[in-house]
Structures are given as structure tokens and as C-alpha cells.
Amino acid sequence: MARYRIVCTTTKYLHPHEHIVKVEAIADGDSARQTFKAKKVRRMLDDDDQFYTCDPAGNEAEVRKFHCRLEGCDVKTIRSKRDATTANNLDNLPDC
Ligand SMILES: [Zn+2]
């Protein structure tokens, strides 16, 4: 099991709105950024790897699988757990 801190996200318009399709993350204890497609992150979460975000104050938020069904959407992606704040929410990370 490994833990990865997501540092930036790439979103794409997937009808009817945008979703995260790719992220860059750094494994705990490492310094190199790695790129993961959202699909790959979902598979790794199934295999008990963990992804999280962290704000400058050190507050972490867990990242989970997310199947969006809003407005007829059927996209399988990832998002922050509900207790994430605006500072450490996946949606507020820089673009990459
Ligand atoms: Zn959606």
C-alpha cells in the first residue's frame, strides 16, 4: 500500500460539465511527481493505495472514487471526501 499526495489536476469537458481526468501526485517519502489518469487512481484505490490532498497549513483530505450522476452525467472519476475544506479540496488545486 502506498500513499500519494495529489499536487495538481487536469480537467476536461465531458458532457454535461468538467471532470478531473488526470492528476500529478508525489508518493510519500519520494519527491518525484508522477502522472496518473483518473481511471488509474480509481484502480489503485481499489487496491488499497491512498490518495490525498494537503493545504499549506498541513490539513489533509482523503480522495475517493466518485461516480457522477448529476444532470444525466455518467462519468467515473475521483473527488475529495466531504470533509475537505476549500483549501484542500481536489477541485481547488492548480491545473497541470
Ligand atoms: Zn458529472
Q: Is the pLDDT of residue 87 over 90?
A: no
Cell of 45: 484505490
The per-residue pLDDT for range 35-54, each reduced to its tens digit, is: 999 999 999 999 999 999 99
Q: Which residues lie across from 75 on neighbouring strands?
A: 68
How close is the Cα of 31 to the center of ligand 1, in Å?
Answer: 32
pTM of the model: 0.91
Q: How far is the CA of 19 from the centre of ligand 1 (A)?
A: 6
Cβ-contact 93, 6 below 8 angstroms: yes
CA of 29 to the centre of ligand 1 (A): 33
Q: For residue 81, what are the contacts with CB-CB under 8 A and spacing of at least 6?
A: 61, 62, 63, 64
Higher pLDDT, 89 or 11: 11
Per-residue confidence band for 94, with pLDDT thresholds at 50, 70 and 90:
very high
Q: Nearest-5° angle of CA 43, CA 52, CA 46?
A: 20
